[in-house]
Chain A
Amino acid sequence: MSQPRADQLDPTVLAALGHLELVARWVVEGFVTGMHRSPRKGFSVEFAEHRPYMPGDDLRYLDWRIAGRADRWVVKQFEEETNARAMLVLDVSASMQWTSDPARLTKLAYAERLAAAVALLLLRQRDAVGLVRFDATLRDVVPPRSQRTQWRRLMAAFSEPGGGTSSDVAGALLQAGRLVRRPGFVVLLSDLLTDPEPVADAARTLRARGHEVLVLHVMDPAERDFPESGEARYRDPESKIEVPASPADVRTTYQTTVQEALAEWRAALGRAGARYAVAMTDEPFGRPLRQLVGVNGRGAMI
């Protein structure tokens, strides 16, 4: 019986089982297992290693010679000969450190695990990966490298605190773009509680420089649904602005407003040539990961 794939598990369950690095590894293992086809078929790929055959593997990659000689069923795995560069831009402002349910991951924790998984995936491809953590300013910058020690540096950077009172998403994007000298990937993970236009402009600028811009909008389900929590004053943890509301009275209107805002983000970033996806902190990492790396498509990382 096959093991459950970590990228399809509930992120809360997964996070409870191990720390960030371990979760990232499990997610990547599960993700790679689920990719039944080579991401770079027909391009310059070279053999990397064998691994035992698992049901569902493409029989084209079965090593028939070994099967004939040793009666072992193994598939050949290949490594891509690329030198792509990716910059992960992670929003660590105060709003990202919020969860509606203590049992659930905060948006930042979710985004960190997702970013770590992306980084691990790219590092395994020998791609260069960097990290920018920002709120109102850049907090940490790890320039993109493909060395084996890069993973440790990234892990160290993830452990740094955040929590600024605002987030300059557009500025962080532009800064990250400048750190990737050759055309590469700029991956933004943020709750995007800011105006879309400056961010779209920044994405457009990056696109003009030849970068692929990927934006993952991280949301807590409560931010989308506004569930019943009684009549209260709702306070923005960054700006401290308070708005009184009764979810029971305005939920439907709120949900409409959120959908309108998401549509605006999608449209603005789409016009800027950036890829946009929404990730809820209660959904398994596999889906947003797949949307980020864009398996076997235009602008795909792997």
Chain B
Amino acid sequence: MAFLAPLFLTLATLVGVPLLVHLLRRKVGRTVDFPAVRYLTRMEQEHSRDLKLRHRLLLLLRLLAVLALALAAARPIAKLAGLGHAPVALAIVLDNSMSTGIIGNERSVFDSLRADVRGVLTDLSNDDRAWIVTADGRVIGGSAASLLESLNGLAPLGGRGDLAAATRRAVGLARSGSPRAPVVAIVSDGQRNAFTRDSVVNAGAVPVVILAHGTNSVRNRAVLAAAAEPARWTPSGTVTFAISAPDSSEWRVLLDGRTVARGAVASAPVGAPVRLTQRLASNSTGWVRGKVELDADALRADDARWFAVRVAPPPMVAVRQEGGPFLSAALSTLVDEKRLERGAEGAAGSVTVSGADAAGVRLPVLLTAPLDPVRLGEANRTLTRLGIPWRFGAIARNLVLARAASSDGAPLDTNATSVSVFEGTPVRLRYPLVYSPGGGAATGASAPAMPDTLATAGGSAWAVAGDGYVLIGSPLEPDATELPLRAAFVPWVLEALSRRLGEDGRLIEAVPGEHLAGLRGVTGLEGPDGKIVGTNSDRLTVPNQAGVYYLRRQAARVGALVVNPEPEESDVVGTGQGGADSAVTAMRTHITGRDVTPATSARAWRTLVFDRAAGHGLLLPLVALALAALLAEAWLARH
């Protein structure tokens, strides 16, 4: 037997009161004159046996009443067969990942999962505590009635979510409900990759009951990837996309809702999708929403994939000789390809590319370190004049490898241009960049890892960027660094000129529910429906619905956030009824604990959940017992 409020057990000491009164009856201090004592004496003589029995019965009933009330106050839980369940702290993990939106048997899998949860919630008693934790980490708590109401408002996510994190959180919640019996109940569509490969949840002593509620005959078509190249269309570019389909399928590419290309693909499994590239041109300018879509199937959420592209004239650039021949050659190539236009230095929208030691340059600039160390002072004076909070430090001539930096400590995307151009680049001559927001060069102090550090070399900042400037801590010469020889150098220069120094802004690709940081200057997020949601900091949680969202700085669009589901979520193998068991088995490998039990049906799941809390709250029976004892005592005293 367990007690929900064991402190109240101390009330049981009150049983001593009637006992003491009974034992000390003959030592009662109060004396009352009563002439008819002879009747009392005679009564005791004639009815002593009855009176003794009566006294003992009264004592017993009083003791019973006090004891029952004390026990009831302590909220005991006892294992009584067939009398319901003990109070549970039940955390239900409801898988609402994108794949649960699949339609089967004329209803979505998510509706089935929700019905399963609803069944469990209706079995809860007032003594239970319950939470619903969804795959996106949302926690809903409250009474069974409020949970049922909240359940109706839930919908499948636009992405995968994180079922492992949700389970981890559910375990913590169930533990917090002590002394109720903690139980975690997971209901999922049984997708084989519901848990990411390396995720492990240790449930410890908390029982976990898993139900996979799949559907039959799943044939899913999906757009697994879609990306526009280059970053700025002038006004043409290419869209590359990947499609998986169990049978032939038609595809369409749309720009701002207008179909600009269409075609068909033969069958392609998820593991080997068909990759297509279309050269397109846009009639619109500015940010353009793009979408690659397929005909509707059972899982609608992955039938379309979004991309965004900036359509604008090529960026203008003015090149000075101090930037070095390699930079000049790279820019000439881009101008020849009409990706850039030459502009006059100081003209509106024109970016100046130069060595930092050049005189009279103005923002925006792409600056490189001077080749001649003698020019270092002149270079630092230029930085001071331009208000750039960095200074060139003392020259270093040892060979080091550059490292691409992450602004928020997140793992690097090695496919990104800004990463591939810097990561592992040999640097032989460099001027470590010193962060100096006050103006003077803080010699000897290492630069802190600032958010606009693009790359480091030898532990110091080597390439940095900020408002209106990109700064590289070496001259772009092969003797100093191999950066201008790298394949990604020219695309990086183009990106730097158009995105960092031009007006293109940022293009961020993310999955639903992802947390983004480093969004300085962003004041709002404009949704696909045109509604703008304000942001309070430089951090943002990516919306759960896929689409193209624009980053706003007041009235201006300063970038695009493209939200698409994870491609793995389109792999619905395992959601079939037969595959559900194997999926549960796979899930068990991700959840360790003393009691991790799969359920074969919704009914079995409910039974297993409450079996983990075998027992029954004895509050009402004990109160009833106390009342019965008091009534019997009153009756016996009266008669």
- Which chain A residues have a beta carbon within 8 Å of chain B's beta carbons? 94-96, 98, 191, 193, 220, 222-223, 229-239, 241-246, 248-250, 252-254, 256-258, 261
11 pairs, CB–CB < 8 Å, chain A vs chain B: A98-B33, A230-B30, A231-B28, A233-B30, A241-B37, A244-B26, A249-B58, A250-B51, A252-B639, A253-B54, A256-B47
Q: Which of A248, A256, A257 has most B Cβ within 10 Å?
A: A257
Known interface pairs A245-B40, A249-B58; 15 further A-B residue pairs with C-beta atoms within 8 A, sorted by A's residue number: A94-B35, A98-B33, A193-B38, A229-B32, A230-B30, A233-B28, A235-B33, A236-B38, A238-B35, A244-B25, A246-B25, A250-B40, A254-B40, A257-B46, A257-B47
* Mask of B41-78 contacts with A, CB within 8 angstroms, 1/0: 11110110011001100100000000000000000000
Contact of B37 among A191, A229, A235, A256 (CB under 8 A): A235
| CB nearest to A97 among chain B residues | B35
Contact of B36 among A223, A231, A242, A244 (CB under 8 A): A223
- List B contacts of A222 (CB < 8 A): 34
CA distance A94 to B33 in the complex (A): 11
- List A contacts of B50 (CB < 8 A): 253
Check A243 against B35 for contact (C-beta < 8 Å).
no
Number of A-B residue pairs at CB separation under 8 A: 93
Query: A193-B35, A223-B39, A243-B40 known; A248 and B28 CB under 8 Å?
Result: no
Query: Within the complex, what minimum Cβ distance (angstroms) separates A114 from chain B?
Result: 18
- Which chain B residues have a beta carbon within 8 Å of chain A's beta carbons? 21, 25-26, 28, 30-44, 46-47, 50-51, 54-55, 58, 637-639
Query: Within the complex, what minimum Cβ distance (angstroms) separates B38 from chain A?
Result: 6
CA distance A230 to B32 in the complex (A): 10
Contact of A95 among B28, B35, B42 (CB under 8 A): B35
| CB nearest to A239 among chain B residues | B37
Is the contact region of chain A dominated by helix, strand, or loop, or is it mixed? Answer: mixed
| CB nearest to A248 among chain B residues | B637
| CB nearest to A96 among chain B residues | B35
Query: Within the complex, what minimum Cβ distance (angstroms) separates A190 from chain B?
Result: 11
Query: Within the complex, what minimum Cβ distance (angstroms) separates A102 from chain B?
Result: 12
Query: Within the complex, what minimum Cβ distance (angstroms) separates B21 from chain A?
Result: 7
Check A232 against B46 for contact (C-beta < 8 Å).
no
Check B39 against A235 for contact (C-beta < 8 Å).
no
Query: A244-B25, A252-B638, A253-B51 known; A236 and B37 CB under 8 Å?
Result: yes
- List B contacts of A250 (CB < 8 A): 40, 43, 51, 54
Check A191 against B35 for contact (C-beta < 8 Å).
yes
Check B35 against A232 for contact (C-beta < 8 Å).
no
Query: A231-B25, A253-B51, A257-B47 known; A236 and B35 CB under 8 Å?
Result: yes
- Which 7 pairs across A and B sit closest by C-beta, in order of nearness? A95-B35, A236-B37, A234-B34, A223-B36, A257-B43, A232-B30, A243-B40
| CB nearest to B54 among chain A residues | A249
CA distance A233 to B58 in the complex (A): 19
| CB nearest to A262 among chain B residues | B39
- List B contacts of A235 (CB < 8 A): 31-34, 37
Check A244 against B28 for contact (C-beta < 8 Å).
yes
Query: Within the complex, what minimum Cβ distance (angstroms) separates A230 from chain B?
Result: 7
Query: Within the complex, what minimum Cβ distance (angstroms) separates B50 from chain A?
Result: 7
CA distance A232 to B55 in the complex (A): 15
| CB nearest to A252 among chain B residues | B639
| CB nearest to A243 among chain B residues | B40
CA distance A103 to B37 in the complex (A): 22
Query: Within the complex, what minimum Cβ distance (angstroms) separates B631 from chain A?
Result: 15
- List B contacts of A193 (CB < 8 A): 35-36, 38
Check B31 against A243 for contact (C-beta < 8 Å).
no
| CB nearest to A107 among chain B residues | B35
Check A258 against B39 for contact (C-beta < 8 Å).
yes
Check A254 against B25 for contact (C-beta < 8 Å).
no
Check A234 against B55 for contact (C-beta < 8 Å).
no
Query: A243-B41, A250-B43, A257-B46 known; A232 and B28 CB under 8 Å?
Result: yes
Query: Within the complex, what minimum Cβ distance (angstroms) separates A161 from chain B?
Result: 18
Query: Within the complex, what minimum Cβ distance (angstroms) separates B535 from chain A?
Result: 74
CA distance A96 to B36 in the complex (A): 11
| CB nearest to B55 among chain A residues | A249
- List A contacts of B38 (CB < 8 A): 193, 236
- List A contacts of B21 (CB < 8 A): 231
Check B25 against A234 for contact (C-beta < 8 Å).
no
| CB nearest to A230 among chain B residues | B30
CA distance A235 to B36 in the complex (A): 9
CA distance A230 to B113 in the complex (A): 65
Check A257 against B39 for contact (C-beta < 8 Å).
yes
- List B contacts of A237 (CB < 8 A): 33, 35
Check A254 against B43 for contact (C-beta < 8 Å).
yes
CA distance A173 to B54 in the complex (A): 41
CA distance A122 to B37 in the complex (A): 36
Check B42 against A243 for contact (C-beta < 8 Å).
no
CA distance A230 to B29 in the complex (A): 12
Query: Within the complex, what minimum Cβ distance (angstroms) separates B33 from chain A?
Result: 5
- List B contacts of A229 (CB < 8 A): 32
| CB nearest to B41 among chain A residues | A243
| CB nearest to B30 among chain A residues | A232
Query: Within the complex, what minimum Cβ distance (angstroms) separates A237 from chain B?
Result: 5
CA distance A232 to B34 in the complex (A): 11
- List A contacts of B36 (CB < 8 A): 193, 223, 258
Query: Within the complex, what minimum Cβ distance (angstroms) separates A129 from chain B?
Result: 28
- List A contacts of B54 (CB < 8 A): 249-250, 253
CA distance A125 to B46 in the complex (A): 48
Query: A249-B55, A252-B638 known; A242 and B42 CB under 8 Å?
Result: no
Query: A193-B36, A252-B639 known; A241 and B41 CB under 8 Å?
Result: yes
Query: Within the complex, what minimum Cβ distance (angstroms) separates A107 from chain B?
Result: 8
Query: A243-B41, A249-B58 known; A98 and B28 CB under 8 Å?
Result: no
- List A contacts of B35 (CB < 8 A): 94-96, 98, 191, 193, 220, 223, 236-238
- List B contacts of A261 (CB < 8 A): 39, 42
CA distance A191 to B38 in the complex (A): 12
CA distance A230 to B34 in the complex (A): 13
Check B30 against A236 for contact (C-beta < 8 Å).
no
Query: A243-B44, A246-B25 known; A233 and B33 CB under 8 Å?
Result: no
CA distance A253 to B461 in the complex (A): 102
- List A contacts of B47 (CB < 8 A): 253, 256-257
| CB nearest to B29 among chain A residues | A233
- List B contacts of A223 (CB < 8 A): 34-36, 39
- List A contacts of B39 (CB < 8 A): 223, 254, 257-258, 261
Check B37 against A234 for contact (C-beta < 8 Å).
yes
CA distance A232 to B21 in the complex (A): 11
Query: Within the complex, what minimum Cβ distance (angstroms) separates A3 from chain B?
Result: 36
- List A contacts of B33 (CB < 8 A): 98, 234-235, 237
Query: Within the complex, what minimum Cβ distance (angstroms) separates A104 from chain B?
Result: 14
- List B contacts of A94 (CB < 8 A): 35
| CB nearest to B59 among chain A residues | A249
CA distance A98 to B33 in the complex (A): 8
Query: Within the complex, what minimum Cβ distance (angstroms) separates B458 from chain A?
Result: 94
CA distance A48 to B35 in the complex (A): 46
Query: Within the complex, what minimum Cβ distance (angstroms) separates A231 from chain B?
Result: 5
| CB nearest to B33 among chain A residues | A237
CA distance A229 to B28 in the complex (A): 13
Check A249 against B31 for contact (C-beta < 8 Å).
no
Check B31 against A233 for contact (C-beta < 8 Å).
yes
Check A257 against B42 for contact (C-beta < 8 Å).
yes
CA distance A235 to B31 in the complex (A): 7
CA distance A258 to B42 in the complex (A): 9
Query: Within the complex, what minimum Cβ distance (angstroms) separates A247 from chain B?
Result: 10
CA distance A258 to B43 in the complex (A): 9
Check A242 against B31 for contact (C-beta < 8 Å).
yes
| CB nearest to B43 among chain A residues | A257
CA distance A160 to B319 in the complex (A): 141
CA distance A222 to B33 in the complex (A): 12
- List A contacts of B46 (CB < 8 A): 257
- List A contacts of B28 (CB < 8 A): 231-233, 244
CA distance A161 to B36 in the complex (A): 22
CA distance A236 to B31 in the complex (A): 10
Query: Within the complex, what minimum Cβ distance (angstroms) separates B63 from chain A?
Result: 15
Q: Which of A222, A231, A249 has most B Cβ within 10 Å?
A: A249
